[in-house]
Structure 1
Amino acid sequence: TVAHPVRPDVTTIDVTEFYDSQHDGDTAFGKGMVIYGESHADRSPCGTGTAAKLTLLHHYGKIKMNQKYINYSPPGTSFDAMLIKKEKIGHVDGYIAQIKGMAYLTGVHHFIVEDDDPFQQGFIM
């Protein structure tokens, strides 16, 4: 059963990250792959996945607050990250992560509305 701490409407797992983490002195690092949808993989280190991974690693005592973590993607790009603040989210502990890295555009999408479209303001099903 999936139970989101503040959004009861979230009842499914839509994104999964497989990862391995290690330590080298004061720096922790790892490599992960994010899978979403039916067969899609993220080519980046995934900012959301990095934040979630940091929270999990901290929960299990693998990293400390403000400890640098380098998250590598399958092709080798990376994000530098650390947990910088603890906060309550609903009834559970949450964290604010600081993440630095580059993201690259791979496409652009534009919504358009034609003048004679009968549903210019949308519709309700």
Structure 2
Amino acid sequence: MSGGNLICTTTVLLDTGMVAMREPVTELLLDTAAGPVAVTADCANGKCTAVAFHNVPSFVFVLDLPVEVPGLGTVSVDIAWGGMIYAIVDATKITGGLKIENRNGPKLIEIGERIKQAVQQSDFVPVHPDNPQIRGVSILEFTEPLTGSASTGDLTAVNTVVVSPGRFDRCPCGTGSSARMAVMHARGQLQVGEKFQHRSIIDSSFECWIEGTTRVGQYEAVLPVVKGSAWITGFRQVGLDPTDPFPVGFRVGDQWHVADDA
């Protein structure tokens, strides 16, 4: 499941006419790797202007898990499900404090990968209670402390998600936002119906809120909603020549660290 990609996919489906648009609101149900996700798309003048997706129930496996990270010492990690299993770390509490901004990009990537690997090698292995094949932390989210308050309507949070082997999610991350809402709710920082702005490393923003609560196995869970916008920037045409010696493509390990046997 990817929230940012789901917003993009919905926008493409509606703006290109692959799925019929109904103004002012089009409702869709999309199948994802994490389960069915309902979508409410704002539409005007033949354009999808914003997409809100009602994500799968999200919950916390553990708060403040101490993890020993080589070179960093003990790092406090929250582990939560938001469509992927996240390790969530406050960037301001490691190595003297790191601000989530482009100039710190290489350091955030390097430290984020180290923390994630340490979590994956620890004794704590999160397993989704409804699907035991979903197990183990697969992605890491750096956060900064909240600013503003829900009561005054200006609650804001900053995050960036590190995608292996070393890339940032450019958007505020839909599943990461959902996992963070589960953590915020567990800490009493966000209640049902309260909204906050989740901002990314490039300062783009999702509007996020909790529309209800439920249970997933033994875990208290929230029903998160994430809303954002996307724009079509180009179209690509792919062809296959019958004489092409690489009809299924190829991989080179210079960027994505492809294994020798891949």
User: What's the TM-score, normalizing by structure 2?
Assistant: 0.39
Structure 2 equivalent of residue 119 of structure 1: none
CA distance 1:34–1:77, change in 2 (3 Å): same
Equivalent residue for 1:84, pick from 211, 214, 224:
211
Structure 1 equivalent of residue 163 of structure 2: 36
1:22-78 Cα deviation digits (max 9, x unpaired): 242423211001012211210000111111101110001111111111100000000
> Match for 2:142: what amino acid?
F
Taking the aligned partners of 1:112 and 1:85, their CA distance within structure 2 comes to: 46
Taking the aligned partners of 1:107 and 1:40, their CA distance within structure 2 comes to: 22
1:21 match: secondary structure: coil
Structure 2 equivalent of residue 67 of structure 1: 194
> Match for 1:95: what amino acid?
V
User: What's the TM-score, normalizing by structure 1?
Assistant: 0.77
CA distance 1:40–1:84, change in 2 (3 Å): same
CA RMSD after TM alignment: 2.6
Segments of structure 1 that go 5 or more residues without pairing to the other structure are: 115-125
Structure 1 equivalent of residue 135 of structure 2: 11
Count how many residue pairs are aligned between Structure 1 and Structure 2.
115
Q: Does 1:103 align with 2:235?
A: no
Identity, in percent, stands at 23
Greater helix fraction, Structure 1 or Structure 2: 2
C-alpha contact 1:21 1:28 (8 A) present in aligned 2: no
CA distance 1:10–1:103, change in 2 (3 Å): same
Taking the aligned partners of 1:90 and 1:38, their CA distance within structure 2 comes to: 32
Segments of structure 2 that go 5 or more residues without pairing to the other structure are: 1-124, 242-262
CA distance 1:89–1:38, change in 2 (3 Å): same
Which 10-residue stretch deviates more, 38-47 or 83-92? Answer: 83-92
Equivalent residue for 1:49, pick from 176, 179, 187:
176
C-alpha contact 1:3 1:10 (8 A) present in aligned 2: yes
Taking the aligned partners of 2:184 and 2:200, their CA distance within structure 1 comes to: 17
Which 10-residue stretch deviates more, 58-67 or 90-99? Answer: 90-99
Taking the aligned partners of 2:230 and 2:181, their CA distance within structure 1 comes to: 19
CA distance 1:51–1:110, change in 2 (3 Å): farther
1:17 match: secondary structure: strand
Which 10-residue stretch deviates more, 89-98 or 27-36? Answer: 89-98
